């Protein structure tokens, strides 16, 4: 018999804030974290806005000694460390000195390497001869050489966030990182849950981190026509399920959860926030950047998670949608929900917090699962903002524009990633 897995701590760094409670209130209030991009000069790009993490300083989250040891981390690794530190404290583990660190590990959904895109882009842009339309290799070498002095080779590896967090907390158990795009942190949490269920660890820090707000990231998504170009109204640009949606809004951040085996958490007197009861993971085996038109992968992942959880369809009180705001994703996710829930689908409240946070890519699923935990705690559902024009192909209950008090005991959270990755988690109030 598999062991039960509970959540005892949460933490996030998002475009809406750096702490648990005020960020959650901004979500419930429907506030937007989207604004003109400031990380780099985006004025000449098709999309000039994003959902940036503002005023972030890693020194606020680490001791002086810890910061000195980790100060060279990349932007997204810094987000991950801060979110993990918040979650560790939220779980009360900062006051417990006797957990077996060989039975504690980390499983992250981290961004792709090389991580130092900013300096890479700087070298490419400054080395380009715009008149001759060729690369000035001498200038490129000068700029690249200066950049390389600022970052170590190890920091280019995508597993560095996991490595720094393991070092920060002295975790000697399993350490993994997965790069399944927008599904990464949901998959990481699901796999970490399995590791605890089957006895490979007692405690896991799990979640995700990402920062792609840089020239290469924006250019790539623009070329895929995936980003919204609503430059005249950034705060209303992310509009999942709305008929006028024109793409997602690129965001950044990190979300971390402390997962524990139930008796381990109870033995140390931990406050249990929720229980992870179901996980499903599938691949579309279709086009790399498109969801299968029949929604077969999403349907299979949701069915697998619900069966794993051992709950009835009518037991699902809320769905945290992937809900990117792209034309294809939203209509196919709607089709997937209908494919699973059938005639009951219109009765299940659904929302996408990407309408406020933007799309945090590898960190999205973890942050969205945290909103499920807080929804269960407070018995209130977050809204889908900017939903103004109903789409006949998206005809379910998307909790438009205002939070909703509700009885919430069991939630389902979806994440679908480029490459055809589909991951679903089911989480419920602890009984």
Condensed to tens digits (0 to 9), the pLDDT of residues 226-285 reads 999 999 999 999 999 999 999 999 999 999 999 999 999 999 999 999 999 999 999 988
- Contact between residue 35 and residue 58 where contact means Cβ atoms under 8 Å apart: no
Question: Which range is least confidently modeled, 79-88, 108-117, 375-384?
Answer: 108-117
**Quick check: is 126 in a domain?**
no
So what's the pLDDT on residue 427? 98
So what's the pLDDT on residue 16? 98
Is residue 96 over pLDDT 90? no
So what's the pLDDT on residue 188? 98
**Quick check: is 274 in a domain?**
yes
Is residue 114 over pLDDT 70? no
Catalytic residue among 359, 367, 372, 411: 359
Catalytic residue among 164, 210, 214, 322: 322
Residue 152 or 202, more confident = 202
Which structural domain, as residue segments, surrounds residue 383?
5-116+151-428
Q: What's the mean pLDDT when you consider all of the chain?
A: 92
**Quick check: is 139 in a domain?**
no
Is residue 1 over pLDDT 60? no
Percentage with pLDDT > 70 across the chain: 95
In whole angstroms, what is the distance from residue 296 CA to residue 402 CA? 31
Residue closest to 211 by CA, chosen among 379, 403, 78: 78
**Quick check: is 299 in a domain?**
yes
Annotated catalytic, 69?
no
Catalytic residue among 182, 367, 372, 411: 182
Residue 330 or 293, more confident = 330
| DSSP line for 103-138 | GEEEEEE-PPSP--HHHHHHHHHHTEETTTTEE-HH
pLDDT band of 112, cuts 50, 70, 90: low
Take residue 146 and report the two structure tokens written for it.
Answer: 């200066």
Packed helices 117-126 and 215-223: angle between N→C axes, nearest 10 degrees? 80
**Quick check: is 124 in a domain?**
no
Annotated catalytic, 164?
no
- Contact between residue 425 and residue 276 where contact means Cβ atoms under 8 Å apart: yes
Is residue 141 over pLDDT 60? yes
- Residue identified by tokens 């029949």 is 294
Give the CATH number of the domain where residue 354 resides: 3.40.47.10
**Quick check: is 190 in a domain?**
yes
Number of compact structural domains in the chain? 1
Annotated catalytic, 182?
yes
**Quick check: is 261 in a domain?**
yes
Instruction: Provide CB contacts within 8 A for 132, sequence distance 6+.
Output: none
**Quick check: is 70 in a domain?**
yes
Neighbours of 411 (CB within 10 A): 25
Is residue 153 over pLDDT 50? no
Whether the bond between 114 and the residue before it is cis, its omega within 30 degrees of 0, is yes
pLDDT digits (tens, 9 = 90+) for 118-131: 666 777 777 778 78
């Amino acid at each position: 018999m598999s062991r039960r897995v509970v959540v005892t701590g949460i933490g996030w760094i998002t475009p809406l804030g750096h702490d648990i409670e005020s960020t959650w209130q901004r979500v419930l209030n429907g506030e937007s974290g989207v604004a003109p991009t400031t990380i780099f000069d985006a004025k000449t790009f098709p999309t000039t806005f994003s959902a940036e993490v503002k005023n972030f300083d890693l020194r606020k989250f680490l001791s002086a000694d810890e910061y000195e040891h980790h100060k060279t981390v990349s932007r997204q690794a810094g987000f991950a460390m801060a979110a993990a530190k918040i979650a560790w404290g939220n779980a009360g583990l900062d006051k417990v000195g006797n957990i077996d660190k060989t039975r504690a590990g980390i499983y992250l959904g981290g961004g792709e390497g090389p991580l130092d895109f900013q300096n890479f882009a700087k070298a490419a842009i400054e080395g380009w001869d715009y008149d001759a339309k060729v690369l000035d290799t001498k200038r490129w070498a000068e700029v690249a050489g200066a950049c390389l002095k600022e970052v170590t080779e190890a920091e280019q590896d995508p597993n560095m966030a996991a490595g720094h967090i393991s070092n920060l907390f002295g975790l000697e158990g399993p350490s993994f990182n997965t790069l399944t795009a927008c599904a990464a942190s949901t998959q990481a949490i699901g796999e970490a849950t399995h590791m605890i269920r089957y006895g490979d660890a007692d405690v896991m820090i799990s979640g995700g981190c990402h920062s792609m707000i840089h020239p290469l990231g924006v250019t790539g998504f623009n070329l895929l026509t995936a980003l919204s170009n609503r430059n005249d109204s950034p705060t209303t640009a992310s509009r999942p399920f709305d008929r006028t949606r024109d793409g997602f809004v690129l965001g950044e951040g990190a979300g971390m959860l402390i997962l524990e085996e139930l008796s381990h958490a109870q033995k140390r007197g931990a406050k249990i926030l929720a229980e992870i009861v179901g996980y499903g993971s599938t691949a579309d085996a279709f086009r790399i950047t498109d969801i299968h038109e029949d929604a077969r992968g999403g349907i299979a992942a949701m069915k697998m998670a619900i069966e794993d959880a051992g709950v009835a369809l009518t037991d699902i009180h809320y769905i945290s949608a992937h809900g990117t705001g792209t034309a294809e994703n939203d209509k196919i996710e709607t089709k997937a929900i209908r494919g699973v829930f059938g005639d009951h689908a219109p009765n299940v409240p659904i929302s996408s917090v990407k309408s406020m946070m933007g799309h945090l890519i590898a960190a999205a699923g973890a942050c969205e699962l945290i909103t499920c935990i807080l929804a269960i705690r407070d018995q209130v559902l977050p809204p889908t903002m900017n939903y103004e024009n109903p789409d006949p192909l998206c005809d379910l209950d998307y909790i438009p524009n205002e939070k909703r008090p509700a009885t919430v005991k069991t939630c389902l959270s979806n994440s679908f990633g480029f490459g055809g990755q589909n991951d679903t988690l089911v989480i419920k109030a602890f009984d």
